[in-house]
Structure 1
């Protein structure tokens, strides 16, 4: 039993076989999935998907840093309204991305803080995207995120950065396909992270885990990341599945959201 804590099955890359992908995940032991929005339209799509798959798919609503220039008062109003729906379990994904810099840095920072405020108002966890922006995320969380809870999705930093993230008591680290690949510090992070602070995800359709050769990731493949995490921790897949499922249920309060 696994939970894919971050998947974008609402996107067009699943338009031809979305239901088959969802059913394959369920048949493969992935019992629940969290689908975060990246802008207003995808947040609405995630909510509709969650409504049509009660107890299986749950939505996040938010605006990705690449789309931060689209964040307006009207968008915020609509996100707030959607966040009141029982299928919505998080604010996000939002964050800072200084790698591609598709949005000016100050716009990203302003919209990041707006999401933190929204998460606080709605009493929902944050799904935070961080790429080449660790220091700024830490700065803004210290200033505006005290007492919030959430997840640093697809964590990609080193041990020191992980320790800083875990300094925010209500936050977890989520591991995705990069954990299965070489050339990063993620195995060291996976070894040091407390078991009650870790999640697994696919970020599908992106970040296909090894050893799979397909070009499109999907929720079923969260198993490969969980298997790698179990190997690193010296645990069985079943043990890691139980730990990460328990953590996801606690963070997103999924037990309160099931039909």
Structure 2
């Protein structure tokens, strides 16, 4: 299995990162993909990738919650990293209108700028969207020239939203929310196109049941796979095979 979205470089893992990676391996999760969020996360992320070179792969991008009035200079630094290091995706990027709409215009500017990088660099994008699905889809539709591809990570939307995302050629990242009793995903997952589904944790956040409210970690990808298997009447092995193939294809990972 592949955890396609994990922040194991975060300080929450500083005391036991090696054990966390080992627990993931023990559960059959053999690759962990690391999305960047801001300028401060770059070095810890690259250090984590260097410590686990056969397991961890990094992305580069500016998360919408870290967009502010300095967006132009921040993006300049982020863009420079693509010339210095090999990344598997542009991410995580997007629009978040949940906490604060102060820098909405700058968020949209950063999102479009990074989508255009992805087209230039021929890389997939990893999209964070919160209270902004319509706005995100509108900008994506505007920029889609047939070459844009990627994933809406932490998907918790409706069947209609899933179809709109798939119609643009994008995948859905399913994580801990899929296991929440009142999350509504039990009504959605049975109707998803499994050719567009990949697994993730978004650790240390959004731990799946029965660990909800505690620190999340890549080993719990297996719990998400089990939940999807139950809702789709598939074996965990089938879910593993399908989602691993999807992730390998999307991120150009070797099997």
**Length-normalised TM-score, structure 1:** 0.92
Cα pair distance change 1:17/1:64, threshold 3 Å: same
CA contact (8 A) 1:47 1:87 kept: no
Separation in 2, partners of 1:95, 1:28:
31
Give 1:193-208 correspondences, 5 Å limit. 193-208=192-207
Is 1:133 the counterpart of 2:132? The answer is yes
Flag the 1:71–1:88 CA change in 2: closer, same or farther, 3 A.
farther
Gaps of 5+ in 1: none
RMSD across aligned positions (CA): 1.8
**Residue equivalent to 2:95:** 96
2:167 corresponds to which residue? 167
Q: For structure 1, which segment, 136-145 or 43-52, has the greater mean C-alpha deviation from structure 2 after superposition?
A: 43-52
Unmatched 5+ stretches in structure 2: none
Counterpart-to-counterpart distance in 2, 1:86 and 1:254: 16
**How far apart in 1 are the matches of 2:199 and 2:214?**
20
Aligned match of 1:183: 182
- Contact 1:38 / 1:63 at 8 angstroms: preserved in 2? yes
Separation in structure 1 between the aligned mates of residue 151 and residue 9 of structure 2, nearest angstrom: 20
CA apart distance, 1:20: 1.3
Which secondary structure does the structure 2 equivalent of 1:255 belong to? Answer: coil
Asked if 1:17 corresponds to 2:6, the answer is no
**Aligned residue number for residue 218 of structure 1:** 217
Give CA deviations for 1:211-235 in whole Å, capped at 9, x if unaligned. Answer: 2256100000111111000111100
TM-score, reference length from structure 2: 0.93
Q: 1:104 to 1:70 in 2, by over 3 A?
A: closer
For 2:196 and 2:70, locate their aligned partners in 1 and report how far apart those are by CA, in whole Å: 30
Going from structure 1 to structure 2, the CA distance change for 1:76 and 1:22 (only over 3 Å counts) comes to same
Alignment partners' CA distance in 1, 2:182 and 2:233: 21
SS at match of 1:173: strand
Distance 2:244 2:69 in 1: 34
Offset from partner CA, 1:80-130 (integer Å, 9 cap, x none): 343356651111111111111164211111111111111112211100001
